[in-house]
Amino acid sequence: MSLPTDSLTPTPGRVLAGHLGELRAKWGWFVALGLLMIIAGAIALGNLVLSTVATVLYIGVMMAVTGGAQIIHAFQVKGWGAFSFWLLDGLLFLIAGVFAIVLPLVAAEFLTLFLGVSLIVGGVFRLIAAFKLRPATGWGWIAFSAVIAILLGIEIIAGWPVSGLWVLGLLLGIDLIFNGIAVLFLGFGLKK
What does the buried/exposed string (b/e) look like for 91-105 if buried means 16 or more CB atoms within 10 Å of the residue's CB?
eebbebbbbbbeebe
pLDDT in tens, 87-116: 998 999 999 999 999 999 999 999 999 999
pTM of the model: 0.68
Q: What is the DSSP letter of 5?
A: -
- Judge contact between 169 and 47, C-beta under 8 A: yes
The residue length of the chain stands at 192
Distance from chain centroid for Cα 108: 16
Question: Chain-wide mean pLDDT for the chain?
Answer: 86
Q: One-letter amino acid identity for 165?
A: L
d(CA 114, CA 124): 15
Q: Given this model, what pLDDT does residue 15 score?
A: 55
